[in-house]
Amino acid sequence: MHALRFSILAAALFAAACRTAPRDAPILARANVADGFSSYRILRVGVMPFQGSSVDAAQAQVLQGSLGAEMQAVSPYEIVLLGERDLQEVRSADAHRLGWYPTETIISVARRHRLDGLVFGTVVRQQQFPPLQFDMQVDLVAAETGAPVWSALVQLDAADPRVQEGLEAYYGGRGDDSGQPGWRIALLAPNRFARFAAWQVASLL
């Protein structure tokens, strides 16, 4: 079952990676980069299921797939989608503080999957009724040291004109059978709204 699940996710990830990223969408996310980031050899990265007090297992997997697909499309890394068991292993090592990760456990998980880095996504805030709101933090942790070397935060409010401008550039005129433009659908569809957030973060890598 796990192999099938990740095969399906991998297929979706590859398909999304073939899409051309928008060039005129405003970048609303911001990132912090650790000193010496360029000295790390990071080629193969594992993306964990998302965390957050308001996130259930189904959404955690959807968000993981969205971020993985966007990273595959715009970053130089090979992307591997990790499982809930991997995340629980890290959590059980008393990793309860946002932005803090247990070094020995990180190194162990990374070695098991032959990874150079691990990506952790956390939903900080979300409102799934109009106007949609979605804030998420994403950390890239180096397998070599177990320390975060890159972190990004995006805070989106569907009522913000800049967010609407970004959605229009990202989704363009692609719509559904109703004829409604895709970006307007995203104003009402939490998964589409979150996908835009994933692109925002991935575009900074």
Convert the pLDDT of each residue in 66-87 to its tens digit.
Answer: 999 999 999 999 999 999 999 9
What integer pLDDT is reported at residue 182 of this predicted model?
A: 85
> Do the Cβ atoms of 109 and 46 come closer than 8 Å?
yes
- Assigned fold of 30-202: Rossmann fold (3.40.50)
Q: For 121-138, what is each residue's pLDDT tens digit? A: 999 999 999 999 999 999
Domain boundaries, the chain: 30-202
Instruction: Say what the pTM is.
Output: 0.86
- Sheet-wide strand order for 78-81: 30-33, 148-157, 133-142, 117-127, 44-47, 78-81
